[in-house]
Structure 1
Amino acid sequence: MNEIRTLRQEELPESFSLSEFAFQFELTPEEKTERIGWTDPNQVWGYFVDGALAAKLTILPFQTWLGGKSFTMGGIAGVATWPEYRRNGMVGQLLVQSLKTMKEAGQTLSFLAPFKFEFYRKYGWEIYVDYLKYEIPLDKLPKFQAAEGSKIVRIAKNWELLNPIYEAHAVRYNGMLIRDEFWWNQRYFKFKKGTAAIYCNPQGEHKGYIFYQVKDKVATIHEMVFLDEEARRGLWKFIADHDSMIEKVQLNAPIDDALPFLTHDPKFKQEKITYFSARIVDVEGFLSQYPFDAREEAEPVYLRVSDSRADWNNGVYLLEFYENGTAAHVTKLAEGELPSDSEALSCSIQTLTALLIGYQNASFLAQTDRLQGSSELVRRLEAAIPERTTYLSDFF
C-alpha cells in the first residue's frame, strides 16, 4: 500500500539516513541526535510503500522580504528518494501535496534549491535569483581608504548585534530570508567557521559587518553587508589589511553589485551563478499582499493565470489599484464575469512568479511570449510593479 503523510518522531532517523545517502554526507551519532531534536516531524512529508519510507521532503516555515514587506514562505528542502523507488513519480506527488499544505498554512510563496531546474519547472517553480561569485587575487583587491574616525570591531558570533544590520540590508532586496535566533545560531554560525567583525562609522553607528575565514592563504567571505558606501570601503580596507596572510579573496555578491566598476583593475574572476527557484503558492492571497507601485491614475488590469499543479490558482484576477499605490484590490472573477482575451493578460504560474518577484520584467516576458496580451496592458502592469533586485545569501 502506498501512502503520503507526515513523519512520526520515531521515523526521523530513517529520514536523516536517506538524506545522508542522497546528498552524500555523514553525520556523527551526536549530530544526528541533535538534528532529530530540533526537527519537527510534522514538517517532513514522506511517501511510504508498504510502510517503508521511499521518498520525502521537508517544508520549512520562513518569512522573506518582497518589496519591503514580509511574506510567509514555505522552503522546500531535503527532497530525496531511495534509488530503488526513483522514477515512479513519488517526488512529484509530494510536491503537489506540499502546495496544498503550504496554502493551508498561509504560505503564499515557496522557495527551493533545484537539483535540476527543468524538473521543478514542471511543478510551477521558476528561477528567481542569480548571484555573482568573485575570486580576487591580492593585487586586484580594491584600494579603498576607511573614513577617518571609523573602526572595525571584532565580535563573538552574536546574532543580536548582527541581525539589525542584516535586516536593514535584506529588506532592500526581493527574496532574502528574515532570520531569527534559531537560524543564526543553528544554521548560519554552526556550519561556517570564521570571524565576525562590525564596521562602526565615525559617529559610532553600526553600518556593516563581515563574517569570514582565512585558511590556506585564502580569505573566504561568508557574508559582507554594508549599508552605505563608506561601510563598503571600510570593510574592503579591512580585508586588504590581511595582505600578509592571503593570496586571494572569495565571496558572493548580489547580481547588481558594483565592485568591478569601483576597483582599479576589474579583470578578476567573476561568475554568474543561477541559484534558487520560487513559486507563488496562492495567487489570490499573494496578489492581495503584493506591494504594487501604481500611480493614482492607474487603470485596472485583468490577469488570467494557468497552474496545472494547483487548480485553485486557475482563473482571471481583477487588479484594481488603490490611490496610494501600495497595494491592489484583488477579485477572482466567476465564470460569467470573465473578460474577452483581448481585455486580459495571460501567463503561467512560473511566469507570474518571475514577474512579481522581480526576476524579469513584463516587457521581456511579452517579447518572449511568456506573457500574452496587448502592449498597452503589458505597459500598464509593468508600471505597477516596483523594480528591485532579487538576492538570497542563505541556503536550505
Structure 2
Amino acid sequence: MSANKVTLSYLAPFSFKYYRRFGYEQVFNHLQYSLDNKNIPAFRPRVNQGHVTRGKMKDHLPEVVQIYEQTSKNGLMGGLLRDMWWWDYLPLKNKWLTGVYYDEEEQVSGYVIYELTQEQLVVKEMIYATNTAFEHLLSFIFNHKNSVRKFIFDSPDPTYHGSLLSEPYVLDARVVPYMMVRIVDIKDFLLRYPYVKKDFEPFVFGIEDQNLPQNSGLWELSSKKGMVKVNKLSDLAADYPEKITIQELTKALFGTEKMKTIVMEGKADLSFETATLVDDILVNEPPKLVDYF
C-alpha cells in the first residue's frame, strides 16, 4: 500500500489482535440498540407534511444516492464517499428495503435502509437532512410494531442516545467493535487532516511505527491561516521524551479517544501540555462508518 501511495486503509478484521501486528487499530464502534415491540412508544411526527415511500433498495437507489451525497458534503466523520459500483453492489449482497421521505414539495430529504424478517426489523442506515425527515422515518419504522417482535437499530454513532425514550430501561444497548484503520502515510494524512483550528504554533513529537519506518521519527506540526506544515526532523524517535505509537495516534486523530485519556492510561509518552494542545486541534467527535467490507 505504501508503494502504491495509499494514505489510509480500512479493514474488517477476523481478529483485532492479529492485525494490530501490522499497525492497524480499532477505531470504529457501533452502538446496537434492541427494543421489543411492546415497548415501542406512541410516536407521531410533529409536522404532518410529506410522506414515506417504501420499496426494495435497488428500486430507490437514485433517491438514496442523492440524499447521501447531499448530506456527505457536510462531512462523513470517517465514512465513505461511495462510488456507484458500491451502491450497485449493496442491494446485490443484501436483501435490504428502504423507506424514502419526500417533503411537501416532493423533494427527497431522508431515507432509512432496513432488513425485515418474520421476527425482527433491523435498521442498517438512516440519513436525513431535516428533523422533520427524521421524525417521519422513525414513525415509519415504529409502524411495524404489529409485524415484528423486536427492533434493532445498528447505529454507527457510538454515543448513547437512549434518553430519546421516556423510559430508557426498556432499551438494551451494547457497543459492538467494528472496523480497524491503518494510517499508511502519516505525513500525507496529517497534511489533509481537518484540524479544528486554523492556527497553532509548531510542536514536535515522536512517532513509532514498527512496520513502516518512513512513519517513524521526530515530526514537527504547525498551521498558519489554514496552511498546515508537516516536517520530519529525524528518523529516530526512541530517545525523544515526547512520543506515541502510530496506533495510539490513529485513535486520537480519528476522535475515538482523546489524547489526554491515552496519556493518562499510560499508552503514550506525552506531557499533559502536549496532550492538551493536540486535543485542542483535533476532531473530538467519534468516527462513524456504516459500510462493512
TM-score using structure 1 length: 0.67
In structure 2, C-alpha distance between the alignment counterparts of 1:358 and 1:321, rounded to whole Å: 20
Query: Which runs of 5 or more residues in structure 1 are unaligned?
Result: 1-101
Contact 1:292 1:328 in 2 (8 A): no
From 260, 269, 276, give the equivalent of 2:179. 276
Deviations 1:297-319 (A, max 9, x none): x2211121111111111111111
In structure 1, C-alpha distance between the alignment counterparts of 2:142 and 2:277, rounded to whole Å: 48
Query: Which runs of 5 or more residues in structure 2 are unaligned?
Result: none
From 32, 47, 52, give the equivalent of 1:152. 52
Letter in 2 for 1:356: L
1:173–1:214 distance in 2 versus 1, CA, 3 Å:
same
Contact 2:158 2:175 in 1 (8 A): no
In structure 1, C-alpha distance between the alignment counterparts of 2:167 and 2:217, rounded to whole Å: 52
Q: Output aligned runs, 1:250-265, within 5 Å.
A: 250-256=152-158, 259-265=161-167
In structure 1, C-alpha distance between the alignment counterparts of 2:161 and 2:138, rounded to whole Å: 10
Q: 2:23 maps to what in 1?
A: 124
Q: Output aligned runs, 1:1-396, within 5 Å.
A: 102-146=1-45, 147-154=47-54, 157=58, 158-170=60-72, 172-186=75-89, 188-256=90-158, 259-266=161-168, 267-296=170-199, 298-324=200-226, 328-334=228-234, 341=240, 345-396=242-293
TM-aligned CA deviation for residue 332 of structure 1:
1.0
Deviations 1:65-88 (A, max 9, x none): xxxxxxxxxxxxxxxxxxxxxxxx
Contact 1:149 1:201 in 2 (8 A): yes
In structure 2, C-alpha distance between the alignment counterparts of 1:219 and 1:115, rounded to whole Å: 26
TM-aligned CA deviation for residue 256 of structure 1:
4.3
Higher normalized helix content (fraction of residues): 1
* Residue identity (%): 25
Contact 1:176 1:391 in 2 (8 A): yes
Contact 1:173 1:389 in 2 (8 A): no
Where 1:104 maps in the other structure, the secondary structure is: coil
Contact 1:140 1:264 in 2 (8 A): no
Deviations 1:245-272 (A, max 9, x none): 2222122013345642112332222111
Deviations 1:310-350 (A, max 9, x none): 111111111111223xx5211111469x9x835xx310111
In structure 2, C-alpha distance between the alignment counterparts of 1:150 and 1:251, rounded to whole Å: 24
Contact 1:173 1:388 in 2 (8 A): no
In structure 1, C-alpha distance between the alignment counterparts of 2:80 and 2:222, rounded to whole Å: 29
Moved more, 197-206 or 371-380: 197-206
Q: 1:59 maps to what in 2?
A: none
1:258–1:275 distance in 2 versus 1, CA, 3 Å:
closer
TM-score using structure 2 length: 0.89
Q: Which structure has the higher relative contact order (CA within 8 Å, separation 6+)?
A: 2
In structure 1, C-alpha distance between the alignment counterparts of 2:132 and 2:157, rounded to whole Å: 20
Moved more, 281-290 or 219-228: 219-228
TM-aligned CA deviation for residue 168 of structure 1:
4.3
In structure 1, C-alpha distance between the alignment counterparts of 2:156 and 2:166, rounded to whole Å: 20
1:140–1:232 distance in 2 versus 1, CA, 3 Å:
farther
Where 1:184 maps in the other structure, the secondary structure is: helix
1:354–1:165 distance in 2 versus 1, CA, 3 Å:
same
